[in-house]
Each structure stands twice: as C-alpha cells, then as structure tokens.
Structure 1
Amino acid sequence: MPFRSHLPDVQLSEKSLSEFIFHQIKDLGDKIALVDNSIGGKSLTFKQVYDQSRNCAGYLREAGLDKGDVVGLCSPSSLEFPVAMLGILACGGVVTPCNPAYSVEEILQQFQISKPKMVFVYEDCLNTMKEVQRKTDSLEKMFIIGESNEFITMSEMIGDEYSEDFPKYISINSDKDVAILPYSSGTTGLPKSVMLSHRNITSSFLIFRDSVHHGNSDILYSDRPMYHAGGFWGLIRSLSMGQKLVLEKEFDTETMLRAIEKYKIIDLLTGKELSENKTGEILAQGPQVMKGYMGNPDATARTITKDGWIHTGDIGYVDNDGILYIIDRLKEVIKYKSLQVSPAELESAILKHPKVMDVGVIGIPDTYAGELPKAFVVKKVDNLTKDDVNAFVKSELADYKQLRGGIEFVKKIPKSATGKIQRIELKKMAGNK
C-alpha cells in the first residue's frame, strides 16, 4: 500500500538548476563557498563561484555550446568542477560527469550513450581523453582543468572579458529538460545514463531542506567525488544553502580528523503492496524521480511503472510511526532455497568479530540451493581461522544464513571510490577458484 510522507508538501521551483543556484548565492559575496583541503586549503568565495561560472558560460556560448548539447565533466573533486558545471547548465547544456580514473574503453562506453559535444578533462587524464576523442564522432572540443600548452584551460575561460557573453535568454522547461546525465553503478551490467531534469534536482534539494534543518553557517566535509551522485549532491546542497564545503580528493582518516578539527565540520550522514512492518522492495513517486535512462527505453520501463513509481532496488519496511527503514539491496540479496539472505546483514555480523578488519559477502551458484553465501574476509590479526568465523556466524545468525559457500581470506575488499563493495569483482574472484 502507498505510504505518504507526514511532512507538509514542498513548494517546488520552476527555475533551471543554474538559475536556482545563482539566485541562492548571488548576494553571499566574500563568504567562503569551497575549500580544497587536498591542495593546502585553497578556496573560492561565493562571489568567485558566481562570477567565474557566468564567465565560463559566456565562453562556452561563444565556443558553440547550444541548449541540449551534452558536455562531459571528467575530473576529481576540485574548485573548478562547480564552475564548469554551472557554466554548462547556464547555456542550457547537459552535464555528464565521468570518473577520471576510467580507461579509454570505459569512457567510450559512457560517451556512446550520452554523445558529448565538448568535455572538461582533468590534466592528468588528458592522454586518455585524447584517445577517446580519436574513437568517437561526437566530441569536438576539450577544455583542460589544470595546465596545458595544447588545449584551452579553465583559467583562460573564466576571465571577466566573457561576462558580456553570458546567455541571458535560454528557455528551460524545468520538468522536461535534462540537466545532468550521471551513470548508474553498473552493479548488474553495463552502466546506464540516468536522465535527471532540472526539477528532479531542485525538488530533491527543497525536500531535503524542508525536512533537515541546517543553517548556512554550517561547514560540510566531503571526500565523495563530485562525478558521483554522493559528491555531486553534497555540492548542490552546500551551494544552495550557502554553506562552506571542504572537499577532499581521497579519503584518509587522519586527514579527515584534522579537517574536522580545523574547520569545525558537522556530521552528515512479488509486486504486491505491503502494509506496515512488512519487508519488501521500496517504490517511490515524486518530482525527484528521474526521467529515465537515456537511449534505453526497455530499462526505463523495467524501472519506472506506467503511473510513475520508481523501483528503487532497496529492501525495507515502514513501521507503525510511518518511519521508513532500508535494510538491503534487492539485486544483492542471496536466494538460498526459498529464503532470502542479506549480504549486508552477514557483513554487519562478521564485522563484530574482533579479529576481522573487513568483509564482503556474495552468493555463489549452487545446483541444489540456488545460491550459497560466501564471505571474503580481511584479517585484523593473523591467527584468525575459518572455523573462528563460522562459529561466530553460527552464534549470531539463523541456520539458513550460514556461510555454506565458504570463507576466503583476502588482503583487501574491492570497493568503488565511494566505498561501495564491488560485488561483481568478488564474484569474479569466486569464479576463478
């Protein structure tokens, strides 16, 4: 059965994403907006973000960027990332973020879907992108975040001489026009390009703002890459709320703790409808739901119902107080006989063992049972044995959740840049045995 939020309705915005953010930051002046903790605390004020973004838009307009054109943004978190992003959006362009660590083939797979006309690329990835350009027909121009003697750099695009070229009359339909084309994680196959409209993003922020109360004096810290939804969302949130964002290119515990101490940072963090306290897949509906997957109507139809409900892929339940709990991912659940085993639950249990450093759990095929849970374990101490782990799991969880697929000790659990366990890699490791 559908559950409606107990919170009041949110007043949505008709503005484009760039207009929305420009409106929020234009009067914040010399207040610090962004701090890059990875390069000694270099910063930008809100005025600098505002001016540089609009100048960048002026340059891009003169360079031939038109409404609806897609522009790649292939860079780690940086002060230049939001400037390029807002510059593209202000022209009516569509931003498609890209992991700068990707290979030529991985970038090509994404660009064959989104077909970018231009790309901003981090200086360290230039050679990779040059090879991508040679192999794709759509990519006409490259701009460099960093230094280059071969291509136009960001620093050359943000001068005040381009302020008069800012595109003032771009008509954006916030509900229909796409703003961002991020990519799905590819957990169950190749990544798909997610079409997010301007309203999808602004409404997500407004829903968040009206339900979680933080002031504009708060300072946020993010080690999530801006090309990923987690880092991108943190950027949108901090700019829209007038908050200082301290960014880090890579996670390191000591660096994060020093940043918290220095900046006083706050902590973040069957198809049948079910009733309260019944576990099942969570479907959601609202203005924040994506438009679909670009160039993939079949995947869109499988994900979004005809009446606008999106299959989140999350498993959870709603309690008697209307609080929603998310407990696992549908596509990661292990099917043991007729029972469902949660990898996350197993991982949480195993991590309680004092001799376990890290763990990842997958299901491996079994002719009789369907799948068997298998754990890849990183030892905290050398004398940890498989029998130790098995005995511990038996003391914590029901019989059908036991590690019948075995235990394998490894040096490291493969994870994405955002800390997500790469279960596809674990399955490859299991298949090689």
Structure 2
Amino acid sequence: MFEFSSLTGAAPPIPDNLSLPQFLLQYKHSIRPNRPHNIPWFVNGINSRKIYEEEIIHRTACLASGLTTVFKLSESNYPICIWAVHQLMGIVSLANPSFTQSELVYQLNQTRPTLIILHSQTVNVARAAAQEMGLCLDRLVILDQAQSMQSMVSVEDLIKLGLVCPLFQGRALQIGEGRERIAFLSPSSGTTGVPKIVAISHFAVIANCLQIAAHNKVGQNYTSWNQQRYRPGDVCIAVLPFYHIYGLGVVLNLILFCGMTLVIVPKFQLIPFLESIRQYSVTHLMLVPPQVLLLCKEPVIKDYDLSQIRMVLCAGSSLTAELADQLYQLLPSAQIGQAYGSTEATGVVSIWPVNQFHGISGGELIPGTAARLLKSDGSWAGYNEPGELHVKTPSAALGYYGNKEVTVETFVDGWIHTGDLVQLDENHEVIYIERLKEIMKVRGFQVAPAELEGCILDHPWVADVGVVGIPDKYSGEVPLAFVVPAPGIVEQVGIKKLKMAVIKHVAVNKAPFKCLSAVELTDDIPKNSSGKLLRRLLRTMVPSLATKL
C-alpha cells in the first residue's frame, strides 16, 4: 500500500483533557504566541466595540452560570454562547440561519435539543420548528436585544442573572475524556445521501487548530517572504459563517489561538466588507471562491486600497487557476493559497506551505496527517495518479451521530473515506479533481441531490426526478433537476408553468443556496436494475443543454 504522510512531520502535542473553551481561554500551549493585553479578541463590525480577554472570560462564565439547562442548537454566530455551553459540558449544534422550517425540523429531529438560541430575524422559523418538535417556546432564547422580542429571555438576561451567581468555571476533564466528549454536532452531507450530523469531539477541534498552527509555524521565529503568516496583532474579518466548519475551525479558533483580532460582521456584503477592511486595517482574509470572484470582477474594487492585505486563504471548494491568477494580480503583496478539508476531518486536511508565496491547489498535508488513494481498479495510487482520498488524522470526527450504518462506511479502521477524487504529487500537494459521490458543492456548502429529489417528489405534478450539479462561474456548482411530469400535467398546465412550479416549490422549502438553477423535462430517469438512479447518465445530458442554460 502506498501511503502519503505529511512532510511537515508529526502533529504537536494535543491535550486530551481539555474542553474547547479551556483550551482557548485558559491553556498556554508551547506553540501559542503571547497576545499583548492591548490587542482585542473581537471587534463588533456594527458598532466598532472592542472586546478583550478579561471581558470574554467573564461574560462566558456569567452566561454559563445563567443557563439552567444545556442547549444543543444555536442560530447565533456568537462564540461566547458556544463556550458557555461547553463549560456546562453541553453540546452545540450550529444551524444555517437561512434554513426553512422543514430543514430546521430535520436537524432538530436528529439532535434533539433542549433549548434554542436564535437571532431575532429567525424567530418565526425557530418558533414554528420548535412547536412542531414539541419543544416549549420558553426554551427559546434570543441572542440580540430586538425591541419586538422583549417578551423572550435574552442572552443578556442570562448574563445578568449569572452576575449574581457564583461564576461557573467548568470542571476539569479526565485524561482522555476530550477524545470522546462531543463538542459539536455539525450538519454534513457526508459522501452520499441526505444530510447527516457529524459528531465532533473537543479533542478533534483542538487537534485541528494545533495542526494548522504548526503547519504555518505559528509562534516560531522564522521569516518567510519577510512576513510571518499569523502574528499577534494581525486583524482578520469574519465574513464566513461560524456554523460552517471552515468558519468555526479556521476563522474562529485558529485566529484567536494566534493572538489576532477578529472583526465580526453579520454577513458578507461587498461594499460593507470593503469598508470594514479599510476601517479596521484588516490584514487577513478567509474566503470562498464566490467571494474571490466578486473581488476580482466588481468595478467598485478599484475605489478601495487593499494594499494592507497580507494573507488570503481560499477554501470551501477549489479555486480555478484563472481566478487564482486574477487574485494574485489584485493583491500582489499578499500571500495567497488554498486549503482542502471536510467536516468529517473537523476542518483542514491540507493547506499551502509557508515556503510558497502563492499556493498550489489544495496544499500539503498538515502535520500528523496521512493519506492514501484508492484507484478505480481497487489498487493503491502512487504519485500523480488519481484515486479516492482516504485520510487518517488526529482531528477525525467520531462519526455520524445516530447513524452507525453510514459511520462504518465512511470511518474505516481509522481512515476517513472522503469520496473525493484527487492526486498527490512528489511534494504531497493535494490536487483536487472531482467528487466521486453524489454531493454538490454550491458556494462552499454541501448540497445532497437526494435531499432535493425528495423535496421535488412531494410536488403533485412530478412523477420522478433526478438532480445533478452543473458548473457555475459564481457558485462552483448549481443544482439542475430533470423532471418526469405526472401523467397529463403538461397538457393541463403547460411546460413553463410546470417548471416554474417546481423551482418555486424548492425555493419555498429549502435554503437559498439549494435553489434550482433550472428544470428540464424528460420522459425517463435512468436507473439500474435495483432502482438506483444513474446520475452519471444524467450528467451526459448536461452538455447538450449548455446553449439553453
């Protein structure tokens, strides 16, 4: 068996007796740089308020004291909520705030929370989902102080309650406990099928943070291109959601571990994003390809001075060579590269090395990570040969929560079967080729065709359906549905009305990033003798539709 290993060596020591907040707020690891007291942890991108270490520790302890029960779902992107729950040995399951009621119910049904923290903009969906699940509405806590939500208990109310209680510091974990205690239940489509919940331990989150830090030589006295990549006092803007493993693991945990300041904004909007870069002297950008495309294509960019940007990481999906070249030209003084990872690996598997100013493809395997590639003929691939990527890493998740059958298919003898076709060169650079399994990557988010097919089949005008991903310049991929109409429905309502009805049905029942790009009518959906949909045959029909799409 040909096995690839990280050229940067073993992972640094990983403590297995710490919770995530104990690691981030209290523990002094040997490779962690010192944060000067005058460097804030967070800056509120709305009101510019700076939040320092002492306040974070105090508010986290107060919120933990104020909480009388553990919750498992947070609609917020507020780290203090996450850490307070972890201090109580609770589990956090972060949800996309754009979820519809049915999507949120699906996640609630899998995680079974006892309390929900939500933003005021999502209160109607959260209330409806909670009622459908039989969860009392007094188990909903509002994150922000919206005037119309004064009847609901807020996070600030709980913090004030905690001020009059003994501060809760959290108990110490036993040796090895961090490896098994679940920190997050994170949604993922896995390698196939409908969305699943990945169980991630405290140890795995801490491990990935330390692996990335070691790979980037954080805390070491080295100079690369006369600029160390992550330094205390650097500033990163958080435009990626914390409910995504990229935003949670890299943008939040790594940036804080490195002694940097994180500017938190509600969501990505190009002009406010550019204004924040200027206002807060942002030095680091963590992006996905659609955001890179906007930076490279929008004319308004020329009105902003981006010369202070020192580093850009692009991940979530692969960046085309053409778009990467445009980014190099836009930010000629910035180190720019890519990373490859997955929720099942708790984040990053590979990232571009510090001795490359501009990264190549998915980068090198990070410390402590091993890989092997399974070819289609069942043999193991060597250098520059494509195969399905199997990964072994200390940051591997525990498996799929409540789904043992799929867990044993994906997590095999310590190896994660990623379902991605890649190849590795002599420098152990991961070169992504394509997904082998039935999952699309839309704007960095996983979208399962089976989930959309189930939704479309609920429409009475549809007899059968098959969904595939088609290339898209902005989103990477977008869903296209091949629909077999119900008998007589085309004659009754017409082709245009049928297509629009299917598109609207998905838009109403699914999050915006899952919406269909188009619908094509067909007489039959190709399937094998056992009834399994043959998506590869549907994909062969896509080129013939190019002029129509």
TM exceeds 0.5?
yes
What's the CA shift for 1:137? Answer: 4.0
Partner of residue 437, structure 2: 331
Partner residue of 2:312 out of 257, 268, 273:
268
CA distance in 1, matches of 2:479, 2:117: 37
Q: How many residues align?
A: 354
CA contact (8 A) 2:117 2:143 kept: yes
Partner of residue 12, structure 1: 14
Partner of residue 32, structure 1: 40
Deviations 1:116-162 (A, max 9, x none): 11111111222222222222246672211112322211111223625
Gaps of 5+ in 1: 335-341, 352-356, 366-409
Given the superposition, is the C-alpha separation of residues 163 and 53 from structure 1 closer, same or farther in structure 2, using an over 3 Å criterion?
farther
What's the CA shift for 1:332? Answer: 5.7
What's the CA shift for 1:253? Answer: 2.6
Given the superposition, is the C-alpha separation of residues 429 and 318 from structure 1 closer, same or farther in structure 2, using an over 3 Å criterion?
same
CA contact (8 A) 1:28 1:47 kept: no
Runs of 4+ aligned residues of structure 1 deviating over 6 Å after TM superposition are 361-365
CA contact (8 A) 2:94 2:185 kept: yes
* Aligned-partner SS, 1:155: helix
CA distance in 1, matches of 2:388, 2:110: 29
CA distance in 2, matches of 1:323, 1:250: 32
Partner residue of 1:111 out of 108, 126, 134:
108
Partner residue of 2:163 out of 146, 161, 176:
161
Matches for 1:162-181 after TM superposition, within 5 Å: 164-169=166-171, 171=173, 173-181=177-185
Deviations 1:326-370 (A, max 9, x none): 233223699xxxxxxx989x65xxx5xxxxx777477888xxxxx
Given the superposition, is the C-alpha separation of residues 327 and 64 from structure 1 closer, same or farther in structure 2, using an over 3 Å criterion?
same
Give 1:156's aligned amino acid. Answer: D
CA distance in 2, matches of 1:227, 1:333: 19
2:256 corresponds to 1:239: yes
Given the superposition, is the C-alpha separation of residues 359 and 286 from structure 1 closer, same or farther in structure 2, using an over 3 Å criterion?
closer
Partner of residue 372, structure 1: none
* Aligned-partner SS, 2:394: coil
Partner of residue 291, structure 1: 398
CA distance in 1, matches of 2:477, 2:134: 40
Partner residue of 1:210 out of 197, 210, 214:
214
CA contact (8 A) 1:315 1:330 kept: yes
Partner residue of 1:42 out of 44, 49, 52:
49
CA contact (8 A) 1:332 1:362 kept: no
Partner residue of 1:429 out of 519, 528, 534:
519
Matches for 1:185-204 after TM superposition, within 5 Å: 185=189, 188-204=192-208
Matches for 1:48-197 after TM superposition, within 5 Å: 48-60=55-67, 63-65=68-70, 70-75=71-76, 77=77, 81-137=78-134, 141-147=139-145, 148-159=149-160, 161=163, 164-169=166-171, 171=173, 173-185=177-189, 188-197=192-201
Range moving further from structure 2, 152-161 or 47-56 = 152-161
Give 1:318's aligned amino acid. Answer: L
CA contact (8 A) 1:28 1:46 kept: no
Give 1:275's aligned amino acid. Answer: G
Give 1:72's aligned amino acid. Answer: L
Give 2:125's aligned amino acid. Answer: T
CA contact (8 A) 1:199 1:288 kept: yes
Deviations 1:380-427 (A, max 9, x none): xxxxxxxxxxxxxxxxxxxxxxxxxxxxxx9xxx9xx999x75x734x
* Aligned-partner SS, 2:187: coil
Give 1:50's aligned amino acid. Answer: I
Given the superposition, is the C-alpha separation of residues 82 and 135 from structure 1 closer, same or farther in structure 2, using an over 3 Å criterion?
same
- TM-score, reference length from structure 2: 0.58
CA distance in 2, matches of 1:23, 1:425: 46
CA distance in 1, matches of 2:98, 2:51: 25
Give 1:273's aligned amino acid. Answer: W
Partner of residue 417, structure 2: 311
CA distance in 2, matches of 1:299, 1:32: 43
Range moving further from structure 2, 152-161 or 307-316 = 152-161
CA contact (8 A) 2:480 2:519 kept: no
Partner of residue 226, structure 2: none
CA contact (8 A) 2:115 2:139 kept: yes
CA contact (8 A) 1:73 1:96 kept: yes
* Aligned-partner SS, 1:322: coil
CA distance in 2, matches of 1:137, 1:197: 28
CA contact (8 A) 2:36 2:232 kept: no
CA distance in 1, matches of 2:521, 2:430: 36
What's the CA shift for 1:201? Answer: 0.4
What's the CA shift for 1:308? Answer: 1.1
* Aligned-partner SS, 2:8: coil
Partner of residue 23, structure 1: 26
CA distance in 2, matches of 1:143, 1:153: 5
Deviations 1:226-272 (A, max 9, x none): 12222212111222222111223222233322222332322331343
What's the CA shift for 1:24? Answer: 5.1
Given the superposition, is the C-alpha separation of residues 319 and 42 from structure 1 closer, same or farther in structure 2, using an over 3 Å criterion?
same
CA distance in 1, matches of 2:58, 2:135: 29
CA RMSD of superposed structures (Å): 3.3
State the identity %: 22
CA contact (8 A) 1:278 1:318 kept: yes
CA distance in 2, matches of 1:268, 1:195: 29
CA distance in 2, matches of 1:231, 1:254: 21
